Amino acid sequence: MTTFEIPVPDGTAEAYVAGPADRSAPGVLFFMDGIGLRPQIQQMVDRIAEWGYAVLAPNVFYRSGRAEDMAPDGPLDTDERRAAYFQHVGPRIQALTAERAVADIPAYVAALRERCAAGDIGTTGYCMGARLAVRTAGLQPDDVAAAGGFHGGGLATDEDDSPHRGLATARAEFAFGHADNDRSMPPEAVGRLGEALSDAGLLFINDVYAGAPHGYTMNDTSMYHEEAAERHYRVLEELLGRTLR
């Protein structure tokens, strides 16, 4: 895995990249969770790259600072440490408005295109990153053939800029693995998301992972749930294999 910088509308975003750099492998755009780029994201990017993909994970909070300056100083492996750190996360997420996200996405796709094979790409997102993955699929349907969203929040709200409203222009196959009893993605929102996917005529998985808390893939936090995390890797690998190979 290496790091490089991407020109974006309001500055420069650093990004993790892994996998072949010779444009021989299909591309996957990875959207981080609210904690940001850190060793755990490196591990996840590397694992996906080992399946045979060129993977790029941008610092989508670049307007708030560099990733290394915003990262926690250690694992958030207790509820107390996680709660204390998340006092800093809310303002960053709020600053990344839908308008700003949509402005940035083409630059991330273009950067991935410089490293990956021609043809369809995939995207996957975690927590708030799941919203970005959905937006990417709707914004750039000619590029995105696969989109994963895991323990995502706010995917299907009543707001005019809710991510699910962009599904009408998507063509990707989707796989969602929702956290159980997630206040940011309650059952009615899961149902609304499923209806939007069906109305758009898309292939999709829209599952709730029983017993898995919000943030279940992140093994550097107290929310990690190994069974659900490994299930997510299986689902994602199968999705990418069906659509990009």
pLDDT at 137 over 80: yes
pTM of the model: 0.97
Query: Which DSSP letter does residue 221 get?
Result: B
CA-nearest of 182, 168, 50, 68 to 126 is 182
pLDDT of residue 1: 65
Q: Show me where the domains of the chain are located.
A: 2-244
- Surface-to-core class of residue 18, CB atoms within 10 Å of its CB (0-12 exposed, 13-18 middle, 19+ buried): buried
- CATH fold, domain 2-244, is Rossmann fold (3.40.50)
Q: Quick one: which H or E segment has residue 4?
A: strand 2-8
Summarised one tens digit per residue, pLDDT across range 148-186 is 999 999 999 999 999 999 999 999 999 999 999 999 999
Q: State mean pLDDT over 69-82.
A: 90
pLDDT at 80 over 80: yes
Summarised one tens digit per residue, pLDDT across range 189-238 is 999 999 999 999 999 999 999 999 999 999 999 999 999 999 999 999 99
